[in-house]
Chain A
C-alpha cells in the first residue's frame, strides 16, 4: 500500500513538474531537525508522525532529519544558520534558548501565532515547562520532549528491609533513614546493595537542582543573567548530597555514571535511583522485580527541575514557512499525537488536555507511575539556563564534581563557581 502510495506521489510529482513550476509555488518545504536522547522507538515515532502529517497535508513537504544527540543538534542547527541555510524547525534543549536568542537565529512563536485561537494554544501548556520557554514576554520554545527526574525504588528490596513498598521516601531525612535500612553488606563488609544512586557524571547539575529546589532555591534568575550558586540553601543541598556517602554511607563514593544507573538498579546493586522519566519505558520493560516511582523527596517542599527539548522556529524562513511550522507544531502537540509520543518514550505530555484522552487514561490506569511525573510538575522549577549556558553549567558541574570527589568542600567549591559565573554574566546585566 505504502509503495503504491509512493509511486502515485512520484507520478503526481512528474505531472506537476511537466506542468511547470506551478506546484512548487504552492507546496511549502520544511526542514525539521530532531535529536534522539532516549533509546528505543523515539526516532521511528517522530518519523511516523511526520509521515502521517505529510499524508494529511499535501501542501507541506516536511523533511524530518535526525541530528544526533542534543549537543550535535544544536551544533548542526547553528552551523546551518550561520552558513545561511537553517532548518525551519528544530527540537533543541530548552535551556539553549538564551544561546539561540544571543546568536539571533530564532523567532518567537508569537510572530506566527496571531489569532486568538493560537494565543489560547500558547497558554495551554503546563506553566512549569513554559518557564524555560519564555523570556521578555515572548514564547520562543514549545515543549515537546520534556522530562523531569523521579525516584525509582525496588519494592522487593523495600519489603525485605521491612519498609512499606507502596510508599517512597517523602523527605530528605526519610531517604537517609530508608537508605540505611536498605544497605546490604557481605561477610567481608563490602556493600552489595547501596541505598540510593544519584548519578553525577557529565551533567550533575540537573539532579542537583532537585535538591536545591526542594531546599527552596532555584539556581538562576528568569532573565538568565544572575546565578545563586553560593546561596546558603544551595550549599546545604550540596552538603546533603556529599554526606549521603561520607556520613551516612548509603550511596557509592565518587562520581556515579548516568548510563550505568538503570542497569545497577535492575541488577539490585541499588535499591533506589534518581533518574529521568525518560527511563520509564526502559525500567518497565527491563526491571526483573516490582518497582515503584515516587516524587523526589522534600526538604522545605517538594521540588524538581524540568529538562528536555523544545521546538524552535528559525529566523531565515518565509512567512508561509513560519505559519506551516506553527501548524505542524500545533498538530504534533495535539492530544492524540502527544499521547502516542508519551506512551512510546515516557516523556511527560506537556498539556493537560493530553492526559484527558482515552488513550492516555487507559495507559495511566494500566501503569500509574506515569502520573507521578505529571503531578510533580506542580513543584517543578526551570532547568538552569543562562546566557553562555554551556560555559556557566560547566562551571557548576566542575564545582559539584570537586565536592563529590572530596577535592574541595561544598561551600568553597560553590563560592568559586559563583565568582566565575559572575565574571561571565556581568555583561548581560
Chain B
C-alpha cells in the first residue's frame, strides 16, 4: 500500500526549486528572444507597423529586397565566409602546434614564452590598430582579406585553451601510441586532436562568431567591395541623420546574422555539449 502511494504523493508535491528554475529559464529566454522577435516582426512587415502590433498586418518581403540592394551583399557574404574559414583554419593549425609544444615538451624558455602568449589575452586588439596597419602596409597587404585575418591567426586564447585540454589527456595514451611506433606528429594527429574535438568545436564557434561580427579593423584595413565583409555593408544603414528605417535595418540584420543563427540551431546540441565539456562559458 505504502509502496504505491509514496511515488504518487511525490509527483503531486510542489517542487519550489524546480519551478523557480524553470520560470527563471523562461524569463531569461524570453528576454533574450525579445529583440530578435522585434527584428523578425519589423523585417516582415511594412514600415507602418514598426511601432504597432497588429496580428493582421500584411506580410512583405520588400524590406529584404531593399536591404539586399543597398549594398553588394552577395560579394560581402563570400568575403566573410572566406575570412572566417581562413582565420579558423589558420588558428587551428597554429594553435594546435603551439599548444602541443607547451603541453608536452620541455624546452628552454618555455615558461617565458607561455607567459608572453598569455599576455596577449590582456591586450585589447583595438589598441594595436595603427601598428597593425603599419605592418600590413610594410607587407603590401592593405586592402586584402589576408590583412584582415593575419593579426588574429596566432590566438593566445586558442593556444591556452588547447594546451589546457591536451594536458588533461592521460600520458599513458601517448605512451601506448609511441610503443606502437607512432611519430611525434602522429601522436598529435591520432591521439590528441580526436580527444580534443569538443574544445575545437567550442573554440571554432567563438572564433567564427567573433570574426563574423568584427567591424572596425576590417573597415580600416580594406577599401574595396572585393575585400569587405558584411558588417561593413551593414554600416550603410546606420545613417541616423535621415531618420532610421527600422524595418530595413532589421531585415539587413537578419540577413547578415541569419547564417550564424541557422548554423547554431542546426548544431545546437553539439555546441551546448562541447561548451560544457570544454568549460568555456
Contact = CB atoms under 8 A, between A and B. Distances in A.
Say whether A and B bind each other: yes
Interface of A: 31, 36-40, 42-43, 63, 65-69, 72, 75-76, 79-80, 82-85, 147, 202, 258-263, 267, 275-276, 278-279, 281-282
Contacts of B51: 263, 267
Interface in B192-245: 216, 219-220, 223-224, 232, 235-245
B219 A68 contact: yes
B133 A79 contact: yes
Q: 3 closest Cβ contacts across the A-B interface?
A: A262-B243, A83-B133, A38-B242
B137 interface: yes
A258 B240 contact: yes
A352 B220 CA distance: 36
A282 B242 contact: yes
Contact of B130 (A43, A79, A279): A79
A22 to B, nearest CB: 23
Given A85-B137, A267-B51, A72 B240 contact: no
A79 B218 CA distance: 12
A246 B133 CA distance: 51
A109 B197 CA distance: 60
A282 B241 CA distance: 10
A85 B142 contact: yes
Contacts of B241: 37-38, 147, 276, 278-279
Given A38-B241, A75-B216, A85-B137, A68 B232 contact: yes
Given A72-B235, A79-B129, A82-B130, A39 B245 contact: yes
Contacts of B129: 79
A80 B136 CA distance: 11
Q: Is the interface of B mostly helix, strand, loop or mixed?
A: helix
Interface of B: 50-51, 129-130, 133-134, 136-137, 142, 216, 219-220, 223-224, 232, 235-245
A85 B134 CA distance: 9
B232 A278 contact: no
Contacts of A84: 134, 137
A50 to B, nearest CB: 13
Given A39-B243, A80-B220, A263 B50 contact: yes
A34 to B, nearest CB: 12
Given A79-B130, A83-B130, A262-B243, A43 B236 contact: yes
Contact of A39 (B133, B136, B237): B237
Contacts of A259: 240, 243-244
Nearest to A87: B223
* Most chain A Cβ neighbours within 10 Å, of B50, B133, B137, B232: B133
Contacts of B237: 39
* Most chain A Cβ neighbours within 10 Å, of B137, B240, B242, B245: B242
Nearest to A278: B241
A238 B137 CA distance: 49
B238 A31 contact: no
A72 B228 CA distance: 15
Nearest to A269: B51
Contacts of B134: 82-84
Given A67-B219, A79-B220, A267-B51, A38 B239 contact: yes
Nearest to A347: B241
Nearest to A35: B239
Contacts of A147: 241
A263 B246 CA distance: 10
A263 B42 CA distance: 14
A66 B239 CA distance: 13
A161 B12 CA distance: 64
Nearest to A40: B242
B235 A261 contact: no
17 contacts: A36-B236, A37-B241, A39-B243, A65-B223, A65-B224, A66-B236, A68-B238, A69-B238, A72-B219, A80-B220, A82-B133, A83-B137, A84-B134, A85-B137, A263-B50, A279-B241, A282-B242
Contacts of A258: 240
A42 B219 contact: no
A63 B227 CA distance: 15
A324 B160 CA distance: 52
A265 to B, nearest CB: 9
Given A39-B242, A68-B232, 13 more contacts: A38-B242, A39-B243, A65-B223, A66-B232, A66-B236, A68-B235, A69-B235, A69-B239, A82-B130, A259-B240, A261-B243, A267-B51, A282-B242
A79 B133 CA distance: 7
A31 B223 contact: yes
Contacts of B243: 39, 259, 261-263, 275, 279, 282
Given A36-B236, A83-B137, A278 B242 contact: yes
A66 to B, nearest CB: 7
* Most chain B Cβ neighbours within 10 Å, of A39, A80, A85, A262: A39
A76 B219 contact: yes
A36 B240 contact: no
A63 B226 CA distance: 13
Contacts of B142: 85
Contacts of A202: 240
A69 B134 CA distance: 23
Contacts of A276: 241
Nearest to B232: A68
Contacts of A65: 223-224
Nearest to A277: B241
B124 to A, nearest CB: 15
Contacts of B133: 79-80, 82-83, 85
Nearest to A280: B242
A149 to B, nearest CB: 11
A76 B137 contact: no
Contacts of A42: 239
Contacts of B136: 83
A39 B245 CA distance: 9
A39 B239 contact: yes
Contacts of B239: 36-39, 42, 69
